[in-house]
């Protein structure tokens, strides 16, 4: 049975002075058997969040929002995956905001995924179509291309054993308040697993957790988790609000129990 994961992407919010307290509050309000929780704060807050959670609730994972595609070198301002060992156990890779703002291509994302895996981190690999792709009926093709390209060279069994997760995040739904419907999101998570099968992932395709991301809140999370093919959520804006996280993870706990994960 696939894991149920709720991952918080704090993006460029919080400071080292306040991130630990926020993480502690969220951790204390989201204890739900069978739900894997992850908090991904900005790089400069990783130490504070790690220390706060080690104290408050070591079951909450800490993740980076990005890793560099090289191991080391003259890359001013960048962070390589091996530098994160001891600070995080997860890493978001290929978020659409980085694809848009940092020009990350599928090929680059694939290199980042491999770096994360080599460093022993669990990648959350993000894919998702833009509005014009959806409106033109290209959503499946675009996401199929992203999945194959972003995982090029990744060994399926290595990915599975490392706990790789995919997040389907339609670009038009991120930070807009306009979420996909549960049915549409489920159709895309099915399509993602079909892409993995097409790429030769075999049984690992069905074993890989696929999350939905895009304006998830405590009010709409149920719609996604009611879909058997959706295994959780990558949450942006709402993840900075303890009340929202309590509602989202609480609903995920119901799914975890229904799927026999809470025992």
Residue 189: CB minimum distance to ligand PEP, A:
15
85's tokens: 């060992």
* Calpha distance 101→206 (Å, rounded): 32
Residue 235 as a binder of ligand PEP (CB under 6 A): the answer is yes
| CB of 161 closer than 8 Å to CB of 119 | no
Which active-site residues does the annotation give?
95, 169
Dihedral sign for Cα atoms in the order 137, 131, 96, 236: negative
Report the residue count for the chain: 263
Residue 214 as a binder of ligand PEP (CB under 6 A): the answer is yes
Residue 19: CB minimum distance to ligand PEP, A:
16
* Calpha distance 162→67 (Å, rounded): 16
Residue 27 as a binder of ligand PEP (CB under 6 A): the answer is no
* Number of residues engaging ligand PEP in binding (CB under 6 A): 14
**Binder to ligand PEP among 5, 6, 9, 53 (CB under 6 A)?**
9
Longest pairwise C-alpha distance within the chain: 50
Residue 209 as a binder of ligand PEP (CB under 6 A): the answer is no
* Calpha distance 227→40 (Å, rounded): 25
**Binder to ligand PEP among 146, 189, 215, 218 (CB under 6 A)?**
215
Binding window for ligand PEP (CB under 6 A); candidates: 44-52, 186-194, 208-216, 241-249: 208-216
149-188 burial: b if 16+ Cβ within 10 Å, else e: bbbeebebeebeebbbbbbbbbbbbbeeeebbebebbbbb
**Binder to ligand PEP among 144, 169, 223, 231 (CB under 6 A)?**
169
**Binder to ligand PEP among 61, 63, 209, 237 (CB under 6 A)?**
237
Is the CB of 12 or the CB of 74 nearer to ligand PEP? 12
Residue 146 as a binder of ligand PEP (CB under 6 A): the answer is no
Residue 164 as a binder of ligand PEP (CB under 6 A): the answer is no
Is the CB of 124 or the CB of 261 nearer to ligand PEP? 124
Is the CB of 229 or the CB of 239 nearer to ligand PEP? 239
* Calpha distance 241→217 (Å, rounded): 10
Which residue is at the shortest CB distance from ligand PEP?
A: 236
Is the CB of 133 or the CB of 244 nearer to ligand PEP? 244
Residue bearing tokens 């080599």:
118
Residue 205: CB minimum distance to ligand PEP, A:
23
| CB of 221 closer than 8 Å to CB of 247 | yes
Nearest Cα to Cα of residue 216 among 188, 192, 244, 258 = 244
Q: Rule CB under 6 A: which residues touch ligand PEP?
A: 9, 11, 169, 174-175, 213-216, 234-238
């Amino acid at each position: 049975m696939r894991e149920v994961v709720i991952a918080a992407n704090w993006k460029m919010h919080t400071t080292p002075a306040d991130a630990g307290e926020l993480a502690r509050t969220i951790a204390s309000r989201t204890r739900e058997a069978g739900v894997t929780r992850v908090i991904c704060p900005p790089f400069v807050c990783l130490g504070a969040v790690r220390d706060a959670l080690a104290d408050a609730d070591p079951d909450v994972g800490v993740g980076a929002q990005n890793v560099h595609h090289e191991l080391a070198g003259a890359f001013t301002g960048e962070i390589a995956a091996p530098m994160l060992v001891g600070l995080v156990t997860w890493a978001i890779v290929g978020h659409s905001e980085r694809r848009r703002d940092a020009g990350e291509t599928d090929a680059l994302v694939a290199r980042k995924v491999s770096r994360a895996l080599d460093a022993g981190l669990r990648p959350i690999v993000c894919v998702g179509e833009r509005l014009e792709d959806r409106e033109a009926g290209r959503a499946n093709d675009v996401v199929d291309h992203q999945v194959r390209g972003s995982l090029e060279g990744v060994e399926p069994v290595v990915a599975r054993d490392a706990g790789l997760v995919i997040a389907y995040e339609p670009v038009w739904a991120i930070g807009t308040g306009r979420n996909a419907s549960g049915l549409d999101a489920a159709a895309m998570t099915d399509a993602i697993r079909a892409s993995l099968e097409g790429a030769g992932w075999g049984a690992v395709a069905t074993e890989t957790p696929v999350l939905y991301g895009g304006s998830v809140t405590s009010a709409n999370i149920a719609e996604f988790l009611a879909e058997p093919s959706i295994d959780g959520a990558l949450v942006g804006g709402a993840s900075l609000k303890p009340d929202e996280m309590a509602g989202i993870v609480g609903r995920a706990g119901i799914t975890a129990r229904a799927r026999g994960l809470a025992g």
